[in-house]
Structure 1
């Protein structure tokens, strides 16, 4: 048996059927299950910065169970095989590796865009706000450690922009869309809309724990959620902007609290202004486009392929492969792992149970 690696050399995106694997992966999900004959086995989802892959260990599962805890980095020896048109690792042996001995960036998905450029774009957008009080509020929020957290944080745990730098990437996209729409509808309060777009997900820097992967919810994230956390953060910073009218602050708070659009999606109030209605739809659209775009990264360029059934969108999707020149993807290491739901190559028959309305892309 070959000696195990202590360095990451092969990534999920590099795997193909029949390839022998002797490399490091992070355990993102694990189940100790049993075959029909009652024999225990490990069902794992392994990940690195390039993607995820299902894996199975059929022998000595109970002996390896503790080594393969969720969040552990493990050295895996096995073979990549095709199972029901999906690539899967059959593991012969594994053991836990000290996380401090390997670069965490090998296992943490990150935005394909340059963080320093996104930070500069954010500050430029703030400079473009003409309402002095709203600009002062934005400057009070986006500075120091909070700014660094904002440019690092993911926008979600799994679904959309679920990678380091995903929060600022999503925010810039929503704000850019809002600016274009504001040009089309001059009756909108442009500065209020853009300020709301820049701040709508600010609470996510405290909703998620993202120092290690897989990303997890913090206790405040579970108990309170980013809409309320974000509105509280903004109102706290607004105390340092004495000329900001209370009515103006209330309208901005409304944008943050209502941007999920419906009570069952977590918003304590429905969007009740033009700006709030627009922000909700732009946020939802950008989340869905990112989700579909990452699914499309699995399809060959200029080819079409049906996805598996997507419970969160309640439909199958006809995906078209993306041209890297058009999407800006320059290397596999900058690509976020695609959503696990859509790794199949075939159109599954039958309609699964309808998802709960609480499950959203937000």
Structure 2
């Protein structure tokens, strides 16, 4: 059996067989109008690009058979580039059951959380039981999460922007919930609304449900590597509001209930502005708290990613990061210091 290497371990100019997931496939044109397909493959820790040109021996298979989200065994030559790496594809076929004997593991071909997502989900349920006293609200949040537990434990937080790996969704909503709890506890003495039990309960419920529409936005059929048609045409914000309202109706909750109206507003306003996709801006205490907590968690994640990029030992990260400015990550220890 031919040796199979890991994509993440390939060296410059190395020709190898490896397993990978097709993460993206876009048909594009050069400035001269020549068509080509730009592909992106990945494993747990590395993404690489590949180009299939018009007239290539792979063109028809790429167009008709290579499917985003599926796993492939690839033979190719890897090259390091300034943007990470690219592969010249020599052979490619879909994996089959016999490949498991050769080392194929779907979990090794896509990034995933380092947390135990089952334990983290249980922590979320414990938090709901401790913090949400209103029976109908607790039932609504618990029903939505438990109904979709299996999917939530593997759902990414996004395709690219932040927490874009299996389990990232659960990590994100838990972190946002911890953020709003901190804000509530820190500032509760500054305004009566922050001491109102329903404000606290709605803030926690909204933190857990603000992105719930991603269940319908991301396509499970292609391992959550693309958007569904409703995801493209409607988006997770309105899809999330619909899921909250539909579940409330199924549970027999009066749709005119005041706290339900406020909960729907949390979902619709959590991205802050129309430019960011929110139909309404945050207009309540709990909506503002969730917006700030969500922004904080996303930005902390992006900052950590920026500090990890181009790990060449330089103290400053270049401007080519989500913040558009140089980031100081500190004078990194030399190899001699690491080994001492």
TM-score bracket, normalised by the shorter chain, equals: 0.7 to 0.9
**In 1: Cα distance, 2:33 partner to 2:240 partner:** 49
- What corresponds to 2:295 in structure 1? 284
Q: Give the 3 Å change call, closer, same or farther, for CA 95–229 of structure 1 in structure 2.
A: same
Q: What are structure 1's unaligned runs of at least 5 residues?
A: 324-362
- Return the match for 2:91 from 89, 94, 97: 94
Q: Give the 3 Å change call, closer, same or farther, for CA 137–40 of structure 1 in structure 2.
A: closer
SS at match of 1:142: helix
SS at match of 2:222: coil
Question: In 2, are the aligned partners of 1:76 and 1:91 still within 8 Å (CA)?
Answer: no
Question: In 2, are the aligned partners of 1:32 and 1:65 still within 8 Å (CA)?
Answer: no
- Asked whether 1:119 is paired with 2:117, we answer no
Q: Give the 3 Å change call, closer, same or farther, for CA 61–320 of structure 1 in structure 2.
A: farther
- Return the match for 2:19 from 24, 37, 41: 24
Question: In 2, are the aligned partners of 1:53 and 1:88 still within 8 Å (CA)?
Answer: yes
**In 2: Cα distance, 1:37 partner to 1:230 partner:** 43
Between Structure 1 and Structure 2, how many residues are aligned? 313
**In 2: Cα distance, 1:298 partner to 1:259 partner:** 29
Instruction: Give, in angstroms, the shift of residue 304 of structure 1.
Output: 2.7
SS at match of 2:262: helix
TM-score, length of structure 2 as denominator length: 0.79
SS at match of 2:271: coil
**In 2: Cα distance, 1:87 partner to 1:290 partner:** 20
- What corresponds to 2:7 in structure 1? 11
- Asked whether 1:172 is paired with 2:174, we answer yes
SS at match of 2:115: coil
**In 2: Cα distance, 1:270 partner to 1:205 partner:** 23
1:67-117 CA-to-partner distances (Å, cap 9, x unmatched) read 44352544333433344x344345261222235554322322211111112
Specify which structure has the bigger relative contact order, considering alpha-carbon pairs within 8 angstroms and separated by 6 or more residues. 1
SS at match of 1:22: strand
**In 2: Cα distance, 1:192 partner to 1:211 partner:** 33
Larger helix percent: 2
**In 2: Cα distance, 1:47 partner to 1:321 partner:** 30
SS at match of 2:90: strand
Please provide the CA RMSD for this pair: 3.3
Instruction: Give, in angstroms, the shift of residue 49 of structure 1.
Output: 1.8
- What corresponds to 1:147 in structure 2? 149
Q: What are structure 2's unaligned runs of at least 5 residues?
A: 333-340
TM-score, length of structure 1 as denominator length: 0.74
Instruction: Give, in angstroms, the shift of residue 317 of structure 1.
Output: 4.1
Question: In 1, are the aligned partners of 2:28 and 2:38 still within 8 Å (CA)?
Answer: yes
SS at match of 1:54: strand
SS at match of 2:178: helix
1:151-175 CA-to-partner distances (Å, cap 9, x unmatched) read 2211212221111111111000100
SS at match of 2:11: coil
Q: Give the 3 Å change call, closer, same or farther, for CA 321–222 of structure 1 in structure 2.
A: farther
**In 2: Cα distance, 1:244 partner to 1:30 partner:** 42
